[in-house]
Each structure stands twice: as structure tokens, then as C-alpha cells.
Amino acid sequence: MKKSIIITGGAGFIGSHVVRLFVNKYPEYRIINVDKLTYAGNLANLKDIEDKPNYRFVRADICDFDTIYALMQEEHVTGVIHLAAESHVDRSIKDPFTFARTNVMGTLSMLQAAKLYWEALPEKYEGKRFYHISTDEVYGALEIEHPEILFTEETKYNPHSPYSASKASSDHFVRAFHDTYGMPTIVTNCSNNYGPYQFPEKLIPLFINNIRHRKPLPVYGKGENVRDWLFVEDHARAIDIIFHKGVIAETYNIGGFNEWRNIDIIKTVIKTVDRLLGRPEGADLDLITFVTDRAGHDMRYAIDSRKLQRELGWEPSLQFEEGIERTVRWYLENQEWLDNITSGDYEKYYDDMYKNR
């Protein structure tokens, strides 16, 4: 059976890396990128592959069950890699409804469409796969005082933000579809990603852009919160391996064993930007501005990804220093991509482009 895969959220940060990897690596597959193009979706992320014969873009809302179901029938879909989501914690604090709608109801809509479509086929779930991409934030927060404790696949869910609560809920629905209907599902929970094409509301691209323009860098609280950073291409590679070799109904944690305090990562980013722009290294440290902490700010995330290493042979390929260097260089060399987003021009471009469709 020819593989025909819907990748949701393919115009976003991680999704665009996954789409690119699959389109280039598997010319024999059909890759259908389903994305609503919210503020976070940007087709400029996929310019290099948009004309490939095995690629199709469909602008659709994952909550629109009828459209998704019809697309599955039309494209004879055999697999789903589900990344579409509202993904920014600060936005979830201001607008939790949108997060529940897209992350919970949208995931349910994808599950139900796949279930109805696959169950009606003679071979039913054979050769099918529904792969849900989730976050380590569902596990809650770890303590700085206990660096030996990491999130494992057995860690109890304990989400604190509306974002992580909505992702936790979607994970439960995915597992419930396996347990109740026998749907071939897989869930992975990954740590913080960084790299090219990340929307500049997230820490690293926001700060690179601000440093370039010598704008203040708003550090929440004391900057002591810890995150475990993974280069986005390593995440995409893990998704490829897990989609093909992962065991149905299993959960895999994905992380870089790469914990950093925010303030340390910020100083590293500042020095890297300064060096690459030819400024004295550290000249922009004075941009650091401590601001009121994020409500409910999780202190520490850290992933134990040994199961994935042991069972499927994946491990991160990039040292953090090299990843940060590549990332900073990419944003500095792609200032136009950043400017389009920060000026809002790209949203107008899509509105014009799709107005008459």
C-alpha cells in the first residue's frame, strides 16, 4: 500500500522541518500538509519543497471534521502525524479557550475522522498509524534541587498551564482511541525545540531579533528556570524513526539531555549574536531586563530519552554550542523572514492569496 500521510501543522516551526524531511527523503510517499495558517503558520517556511510532486498543501482547520474526513477519503490516507496546535504558553494564559478548541477538540476531530475512515476500509487499521506529537510540559515541573530526577514515560501527568493542560487532554484522547477502538496510535513528548523557522514570540528567536535591534530582553522572574533544549532537526529525525519503527500504543520521550538555566542560555545567545554581528562580545548584555514572572511558571523541565535511544537507536546529533551557532546565524541571515513576520505583512499576503478560493 502506498503511504499517504497527513502532517498537520506543517506550516509551523517543527511541522515544516518534518514536512521537508519526509518530502525529500520519501519521494514515493504522498505528503499532505494540513494547516489553518494561524499567526504561527507560514508557507515561507516551505518554499524549497512547495513544488515537489509528492507534496500537497491544504489550508484547513483541524476542528473542521467534515473537511478532514473528506480529505482522508480523497487522499486514501494511511498515516497521520499530528503537530497542529496552539503552542505558546503566554498566549494560553490570556486566551485558554483557543487552546482547548484547537488542541483538544481539534485532536479529537482528527482522531474521529481517521477512525471512521479507517474502520470502513476492508483492511481497517492494518498498515495505519496515528502519531500524536506532544510536549514534556504535560508532566508538570521538576525541582532544581533534584537534578537527578527527570521526566520518564512513567511520570504522572501534572500540567500547570492552560497550554500543557490542553496538550495533556489531547494525549489522553489519543490513548483512549487506542484502548477503546484499537486505533494504532503513538504519542511522543518532547522537550523545548530551537532552530530555524521558530516563530519569534518564543525565547530564542525573540531574543536574537531583539539583540540585533538593540531592544530590551524581557527575562521572566530571575531567569533561573531550566529548560532542556533540542535542535529541531533532531526532533524531526526522531519523528521519522518513531513513525516508521515505533511500537503501537507506546509513548516515547524525546530530549537532548541538555538542561540550561534561561539566564545562561540568554547570555550565550547575546555573545553569539554580538560575535556574528562584529560587535564586542557581551556588548549587549545590558539589554537583559528582569520583568514580572510568568504566572504559574514551571521551574524545570528535563527529559529522560533513554527508552528512545535504547529501543530505536535515536540520539541527538548536534552539540548545543553548534546548534546555537547555526540557529543564530540562520536568523541573522534570514532577516527578511523575521521582518515579514514581525511587520504582519505575511498574514496580509495569505489573506489576499486565499480570499477568492
Give the contact letters, 201-230, x = binds to ligand NAD (CB under 6 A), - = no. ------------------------------
Instruction: Return the residue of 39, 93, 218, 309 that touches ligand TYD, per CB under 6 A.
Output: 218
Pick the catalytic residue: 61, 137, 233, 304? 137
| 339 labelled catalytic | no
- Helix or strand (DSSP H, E) at 312: helix 306-312
Question: Could you tell me which of 178, 193, 130, 187 has the C-alpha nearest to residue 153?
Answer: 187
Supply the minimum distance, in Å, between the C-beta of residue 142 and ligand TYD: 13
The binder of ligand NAD chosen from 7, 33, 55, 61 (CB under 6 A):
61
- Which residue is catalytic, options 55, 69, 117, 163? 163
Q: Give the closest residue to 15 by CA, choosing from 54, 43, 53.
A: 43
Q: 69 and 58 in contact (C-beta within 8 Å)?
A: no
Per-residue interface string for the shown chain with ligand TYD, residues 169-208, x marking contact by CB under 6 A: -----------------------x---------xx--x--
Q: Nearest distance from residue 14's CB to ligand NAD, in Å?
A: 4
Q: Give the up-direction half-sphere exposure of residue 175: CA atoms within 13 A in the CB hemisphere.
A: 11
List the x/- string, 276-295, binding to ligand TYD by CB under 6 A: ------------------x-
Measured between alpha carbons, how far is 42 from 54 in angstroms, rounded to an integer? 20
Among 31, 34, 84, 89, binds ligand TYD (CB under 6 A): 89
What's the order of all strands across the beta sheet hosting 226-231? 192-194, 226-231, 259-261
Take residue 170 and report the three cell numbers written for it.
489531547
Query: At how many degrees (to 10) do helices 162-181 and 107-119 cross?
Result: 20
**In this chain, which of 4, 109, 135, 225 binds ligand NAD, going by CB under 6 A?**
135
Report residue 149 as a C-alpha cell: 530526577
**Interaction mask 33-52, ligand NAD, x per CB under 6 A:** --xxxx-xx-----------
CB-based contacts of 48: which residues, under 8 Å, 6+ apart? 20
Residues 6+ apart with CB under 8 A from 207: 217, 266, 269, 270
Query: Cα angle at 243 between 233 and 73, to 5 degrees?
Result: 115
Residue 137 annotated as catalytic? yes
Considering the rule CB under 6 A, would residue 219 count as an interface residue with ligand TYD?
yes
Smallest distance from the beta carbon of 290 to ligand TYD, in angstroms? 9
Q: Is 128 in the site for ligand TYD (CB under 6 A)?
A: no
Which secondary structure element, helix H or strand E, spans residue 251, and what is its range? strand 251-254
User: Which residues are registered as beta bridge partners of 193?
Assistant: 230
Between 287 and 308, whose beta carbon lies closer to ligand NAD? Answer: 308
Interaction residues for ligand NAD, span 2-31 (CB under 6 A):
8-9, 11-15
| Using rule CB under 6 A, residue 72 touches ligand TYD | no
Strands 79-82 and 129-135: parallel
Q: Report the residue number, 60 or 219, with the smaller CB distance to ligand NAD.
A: 60
**Which residues are identified as catalytic?**
136-137, 163
> Site residues (CB under 6 A) for ligand TYD?
89, 192, 202-203, 206, 218-220, 225, 227, 262, 294
Residues near ligand NAD (CB under 6 A) are 8-9, 11-15, 35-38, 40-41, 61-63, 83-87, 102, 106, 133, 135, 167, 190, 192-193, 199
